[in-house]
Structure 1
């Protein structure tokens, strides 16, 4: 197919006209959540690793800096540290948990192990004179703690604002230098006034303005895409999911008919989704769409395969091959018109950038490819208009662009599609059975008004499992269907959704009554971790 200039991520990657609030990640499980919370306050935020030097941090021209939590002790050998020079640069800074202790330690405060560890819900009490950092917050509040060390004394020039049973200094501020911090985690919802404290830092202490919106995103990215693409042709692979649809719509808004979208219909989508791409997306955007109907190709390649990793590899491989064939036809058409295709659109999101290293030295948690994996010899330069965004922001941009709610509100869906929601061999009959069951589950969830509360509800067919049942006064030997409703903010962690019993009963009754071959519906009540959201 083609190979992208890997420099495009650096040349056209995580960039915005807004000065960022930088979240320095000290290994926190909540670093992405901090950035999300800042953005929810309409302030642009990015994440950088703690390995960044002061010079590297300041080179990004931050409007403010937030030091995240982390698992280390500031006084341990090899623990991440922060230089005092960062706090002399005139940039407002805020420490959270470990970041709070790191700031105290760098500026001459005392951090030690008290023997009074605090994990989970903790009562925090304000002390001293009221300060804008805790403005609008009760004198006694519930906060979420996770620490064994505590700040024993604040650095010179800092005012102590709060305390707990295990933390003599639970919050402090230096108003003159716009520096402050808290021992608790304001970014988690378990801290009752956490968002208020973060916003107090951003607006009252740091003096920032809430001026980053989805409207800004669309305007900035349209301008950036036009500058990157010029008058060249662009190609985009539509998967049927939210990310590729919004990425394509942004590029279409920027360069119009220079974009051609390719939809490889592998036959593994949910009921009605292929039609949504071919009909609703085209109607909403006016995009040029090339459809490759490849259901038989994928079914043949998956015949007899039960191993989930092998399924993923086969689906990825066949997608690339089908995309390449469509691409060659589009390239020939462009060449006949004296034009050249130079760019490929990818729906890469900011969590993907962070987790795959992001070109910033962050830990390489996983490699990321939007659909099935890009080949090593990709010749195109990548256009990644969603590279700065979290999932909820992508949905907001999609709505701003006028995409149908059926597309932008769609539950997250794995690239390999229903192929990995069938535990066992993938066949046309099993796909049809699963589509019907999935459609019933989604329809009932929507009718109950729970789409916004449930992150997603994978419906899984245990194709190689049979159970005895009684239907129509006769014995049956059918397949079980598993419902996996989960609640999450970013899919990094998740809990099973406590759906109303009457809703579960309706879904179960409809599936066993309306879907031939299914005689049992079960509920997965496992959180993540230990379980993943998808079964395969």
Structure 2
């Protein structure tokens, strides 16, 4: 039985990062909202309580029911989780006179305590809290302190509860990985056997059992998630999987042909559908971003449905849903208020009367890539930058015309191929070009021009939740700008977007 750590989410921005750090230890873990503590079978070896934007002193502070956890399993409270465990057991938490945000150093460490084994005196940690534990419950002992926070870490041996006021999951806590390893491996006793190879083996076997001889249809996008999901299903059921790749007319230059060719080399059964005219026809005169998304989602469903019904006896719809999507749908605050339409493919099963299978729903993006590598999927596919579901439609600000699509495809092609030829592509998480709804004056030869402006965008990120702009070399930007203006008729100005997320987003629409 696979060992498991359960993480209870109190709404912290770092909760997913805790899970990623645990999985980097080759230990499986799951995130659950604080109000839904799952049944704890023998596979669960420990529980971690996340931080929270809330204060334990608030009347509506999140309160979990840990009655069947305390005393049964080791518990680690992080920040809010630590404050909650202290207060709920009789301790005192108050607003701090000197709130601690950012870097701090552990000036006292109880080295005999298992949580801090091999952690050095003075080790840097990352604080982010406005409340402080002023008094610990009876039986609790301090196991770490900083200059300003006396209770930076505590332990209750009777209940097997640990609490730390800092965040071990962020990179700024230098020995955070060691602290989490101490808890997960040494204190909880987890076996470190969660690996890409083990995932492939167990998932393929589960899919074979679940699907039997049933037929499955999957919508391919050319991206990492759908490609890895397709290969897992192909390993499990072979020819019973049919993949459909729809050209919505908003893909990158030559992408439809290139992606179809790459899938043929993978042995997949792929149907290519040229639906450019249907999509672009429906988008004529539409400028509102959300309306664009809804039209693209609707036409995709209609197109996919027609093609899927040509296949006899299909019973399952496969989707490349990954773990962050699952977490969002059951988050502390409930589903997102506004779900971008191209992500909301939930209408497909209802319309088609198919059961859903999601082979990747337990994985983060980087884990999907490692699983793909394990299955020998081409690095070209696994290293492909994320691309928005609506494609270039949301990179053309304003209304969409075939001429604008062609122009943007040419500009985008120069930028992306330039990144590749300069050895910069793999240093960037996502890159693309926006066609702005403005024109600027320029001079070409002896003539004045009044042509389009394009904005280049390149960001670094882990999963798209936060992103920072990439400091591309000036020489590279200069060359790309010249290439675009000289080779693409209709563009006379190139700008570079240096906004981070937040406050900006990666896409412009």
TM-score after normalising by structure 1: 0.89
Matched, 1:527 2:509: no
Say which structure, 1 or 2, has more relative contact order (CA 8 Å, 6+ apart). 1
1:226 corresponds to = 208
Q: Decide which of 259, 270, 274 is 1:277's aligned counterpart.
A: 259
Q: Does 1:160 align with 2:142?
A: yes
| Structure-2 change in CA distance of 1:353 and 1:496 (3 Å) | same
* Contact 1:347-1:370 at 8 Å conserved across structures: no
Q: 1:378 to 1:69 in 2, by over 3 A?
A: same
Corresponding position of 2:389: 415
- 1:245-260 equivalences under 5 Å are 245-260=227-242
Q: What stretches of structure 1 of length at least 5 have no aligned partner?
A: 1-16, 335-339
Deviations 1:308-333 (A, max 9, x none): 11211111111111112212222xxx
Aligned equivalents of 1:96, 1:535: Cα separation in 2: 35
In structure 2, how many angstroms separate the alpha carbons of the residues matched to 1:349 and 1:370?
Answer: 15
Query: Are 2:71 and 2:160, in contact at CA under 8 Å, matched by a contact in 1?
Result: no
Alignment size in residue pairs: 506
SS at match of 2:438: coil
Offset, 1:389:
0.9
Using a 3 Å threshold, how does the CA distance of structure 1 residues 453 and 91 change in structure 2: closer, same or farther? Answer: farther
Q: Which residue does the alignment assign to 1:12?
A: none
Q: Report the equivalent of 1:436.
A: 410
User: 2:342 and 2:43 mapped to 1: Cα distance?
Assistant: 30
8 Å CA contact retained: 2:71, 2:159: no
Q: CA 1:125–1:57 in 2, change beyond 3 Å: closer, same or farther?
A: farther
Unaligned runs of 5+ in 2: none
Q: What SS does structure 2 have at the residue aligned with 1:469?
A: strand
Name the structure 2 match of 1:457: 431
Within 2, Cα distance between the matches of 1:92 and 1:368?
39
- The alignment partner of 1:220 has SS state of helix
In 2, are the aligned partners of 1:48 and 1:362 still within 8 Å (CA)?
A: no
Kindly provide the CA deviation profile for residues 275-300 of structure 1, in whole angstroms up to 9, marking residues without a partner as x: 2321112211x111111111122121
- Could you say if the C-alpha distance between residues 128 and 232 of structure 1 is closer, same or farther in structure 2, counting changes exceeding 3 Å? closer
How far is 1:424 from its partner?
2.1
**Partner of residue 364 from structure 1, selected from 324, 331, 335:** 335
Distance 1:39 1:272, change over 3 A: farther
Give the equivalent residue in structure 2 for 1:30.
Answer: 14
Partner of 1:150: 132
Q: Are the counterparts in 1 of residues 92 and 134 from structure 2 also a CA contact under 8 Å?
A: yes
Distance 1:533 1:407 in 2: 21
Separation in 1, partners of 2:157, 2:474: 52
State how far apart, in whole Å, the 1-side matches of 2:223 and 2:57 are: 47
1:304 maps to 285
User: Match for residue 45 of structure 1?
Assistant: 29
Q: Quote the Cα distance in structure 2 between the aligned partners of 1:162 and 1:24.
A: 23
1:95–1:458 distance in 2 versus 1, CA, 3 Å: same
2:162 matches 1:180? yes
Q: For each residue in 1:396-439, what CA deviation from the matched residue of structure 2 results, as whole angstroms up to 9, or x when unmatched? A: 11222222112111111111111111112222222222122212
**TM-score, normalisation: structure 2:** 0.93
What SS does the corresponding residue of 1:493 show, helix, strand or coil? coil
Structure 1, 42-51 or 293-302: larger mean CA deviation:
293-302
* Matching residue of 1:112: 94
In structure 2, the partner of 1:13 is: none
Residue 425 to residue 415, structure 1, CA distance change in 2 (3 Å): same
Deviation at 1:535, TM superposition (A): 0.6
* 8 A contact 1:238–1:263 mirrored in 2: yes
Q: Which deviates further from its counterpart, 127-136 or 233-242? A: 127-136
1:343 equivalent in alignment to 2:327: no
1:370-449 alignment, distance < 5 Å:
373-375=345-347, 376-449=350-423
Is the Cα–Cα contact under 8 Å of residues 152 and 167 in structure 1 kept in the other structure?
no
- Secondary structure at the aligned position of 1:85 is classed as coil
Pick from 459, 463, 474 the counterpart of residue 486 of structure 1: 459
* Equivalent of 1:509 in 472, 482, 496: 482
Root mean square deviation of aligned Cα: 2.2
TM superposition shift of 1:456:
0.7
Kept in 2, the 8 Å contact 1:312–1:372? The answer is no
Q: 1:418 to 1:38 in 2, by over 3 A?
A: same
Going from structure 1 to structure 2, the CA distance change for 1:260 and 1:203 (only over 3 Å counts) comes to: same
State the SS of the aligned residue for 1:274: helix
Aligned position for 1:352: 325
CA–CA distance in structure 1, aligned partners of residues 438 and 171 of structure 2: 40
Match of 1:316 in 2: 297
Instruction: Provide closer, same or farther for how the CA distance between residues 237 and 312 of structure 1 changes in structure 2, counting only shifts above 3 A.
Output: same
Maintained 8 Å contact 1:313/1:372: no
